[in-house]
Amino acid sequence: MARVVVEVMPKAEILDPQGQAIVGALSRLGFAGVSDVRQGKRFELEIDGSVEDAELEKIAEGLLANTVIEDWAVRRIDVEA
């Protein structure tokens, strides 16, 4: 068993209204110093050893991200067994 993290974030050139709402809320609530927030998604996948990187990239690109507006990254992480 291994764990894989897929991070999906809105592309830099895409407006992120959720993130902008958070920036506004932080400022109203008195948290200064946060100039920008972008909100994306994070997936944790439990996979068995047979799943290869190419397949993970296909899953991330084809299913978890909308590549028109989102960037994605896949990384394997160590799990304390």
Q: Which residues bind its own copies (CB under 8 A)?
A: 1, 7-9, 19, 22, 25-26, 29, 31-48, 50-51, 55, 58-59, 63-64
C-beta of residue 74 within 8 angstroms of C-beta of residue 56: yes
Q: How far is the CB of 48 from its own copies (least distance, A)?
A: 5
- Choice between 22 and 69, CB closer to its own copies: 22
- Choice between 14 and 25, CB closer to its own copies: 25
Half-sphere exposure of 12 (CA within 13 A, CB side): 0
Cα distance from N-terminal residue to C-terminal residue, the chain: 9
